[in-house]
Amino acid sequence: MKPDRIPPEKNLPACPVDRLLRVISGQWTSYLLWVLAQNGPQRFGALQKLVPGISTKVLTERLRMLDAAGLVLREQAATIPPQVTYSLTPRGLELRGLMDDLSIVARRWDAEGWRPPPR
Amino acid sequence: MKPDRIPPEKNLPACPVDRLLRVISGQWTSYLLWVLAQNGPQRFGALQKLVPGISTKVLTERLRMLDAAGLVLREQAATIPPQVTYSLTPRGLELRGLMDDLSIVARRWDAEGWRPPPR
DNA sequence: CGGTATCCCGCTTGATACTG
DNA sequence: CAGTATCAAGCGGGATACCG
């Protein structure tokens, strides 16, 4: 009955790196940011075409989350039919350098034959 | 009954960036890599103290996964009691630059009052 | 066009207990 | 010391249907 773990001080590491990774690492999320960074502002339907396989539900969730996080701007034109455009905010653009470096490492490892371990 | 999404070509973006993020972004994972990068090789028990709140089960899972991914080296001395030491591999060390840059951005945003959105 | 609303299933995580 | 075993809970994500 000895405790299996050390009780956390509050409830999590509260590590800024962890917090940032938590935001950008949901499924499709990094890919979405990448697509917006590469192709500029896009409408909902265009994003769905640019990210094949994503469902409307998840695409909506991710975009709303990124909006709430201040990384993506959602602009809605109250026309008929409605027109909603998503773009990177200045803060979202700050991630580009990071993504580029990450991409360089990821692609090199890829070329070297590295593969993530299967679950 | 119109399909909700565009069928994926195969089954996923297969984006190298996504693959790398998938590996380093599990809960505790980045924190673990960070701890090993900052404090050098550590034994199981020490890691559990350095990462308060993590359970033995998850700590084991993460270390085994990182081992399988070639980012962490697991060295076991067949003594009694057993002694297992974890360290970063050369490939794991390649992440340090990335983590440092990530940290710089994360800490600046943190200082600016940025917080991740609640679920 | 750009979403919501449900239902549901599986994976991840957590808690607890036990061991070579 | 460094785990494994097991069970339960929660949430993310997919499928499907409908709406302003």
- Banded model confidence at residue B16, pLDDT cuts 50, 70, 90: confident
State residue A4's pLDDT score: 53
Of B3-12, B33-42, B43-52, B92-101, the least confident: B3-12
Q: Calculate what percentage of chain B has a pLDDT beyond 90.
A: 69
**Which helix (DSSP H) or strand (DSSP E) does residue A57 occupy?**
helix A56-68
pLDDT the model gives residue A5: 55
Mean pLDDT, range A59-73, rounded to an integer: 96
Kindly report, residue by residue over B22-73, the tens digit of the pLDDT.
899 888 999 999 999 999 999 999 999 999 889 999 999 999 999 999 999 9
Q: Which of A12, A16, A53 sits opposite B110 (nearest CB)?
A: A16
On average, the pLDDT of chain B sits at 88
pTM: 0.87
Q: Within 7 A of a protein CB, which nucleotides of strand C?
A: 1-6, 11-18, 20
Contacts of A9 in chain B (CB under 8 A): 52
Measured between CA atoms, the residue of chain B closest to residue A34 is B17
The rounded radius of gyration (Å) of the Cα atoms in chain B is 18
Average pLDDT, chain A: 88
Q: Which residues of B touch A104 (CB under 8 A)?
A: none
* Res A92 pLDDT > 90: yes
**Which of A7-21, A82-96, B84-98 has the lowest average pLDDT?**
A7-21
What percentage of chain B reaches a pLDDT higher than 70? Answer: 88
Near strand D (CB < 7 A), which residues? A 4, 26-27, 53-58, 61, 81-82; B 1, 4-5, 43-46, 56-57, 60, 63, 76, 81-85, 119
Nearest CA-CA partner of B92 in B24, B14, B44, B22: B24
In this prediction, residues A88-94 reach a mean pLDDT of 97
Architecture in CATH for domain A26-109: Orthogonal Bundle (1.10)
Strand order in the sheet with A83-88: A42-43, A83-88, A72-77
Residue B17 has pLDDT above 90, yes or no: no
How far is A97 from chain B, CA to nearest CA, in Å?
A: 9
Q: Regarding predicted confidence, which is higher, B117 or B45?
A: B45
Question: Could you identify the residue whose CA is nearest to the C1' atom of nucleotide C11?
Answer: A119
Sort out which chain A residues have CB atoms less than 8 A from B45's CB and list them.
none
Please check whether residue A100 touches B, CB under 8 A.
no
Q: Is the peptide bond before B117 cis (omega within 30 degrees of 0)?
A: no
Q: Residue B84: which H helix or E strand, with range? A: strand B83-88
Where is average pLDDT lowest: A49-58, A103-112, B5-14, B53-62? Answer: B5-14
Amino acid B74: pLDDT: 98
Q: Which of B2, B4, B5, B10 to mutate to test the interface with A (most CBs of A within 10 A)?
A: B5
| pLDDT cut 90: percent of chain A above it | 67
Residue nearest to nucleotide C6 (CA to C1'): A57
B/e letters for B44-58, b = 16+ CB within 10 Å, e = fewer, are beebbebbebbeeeb
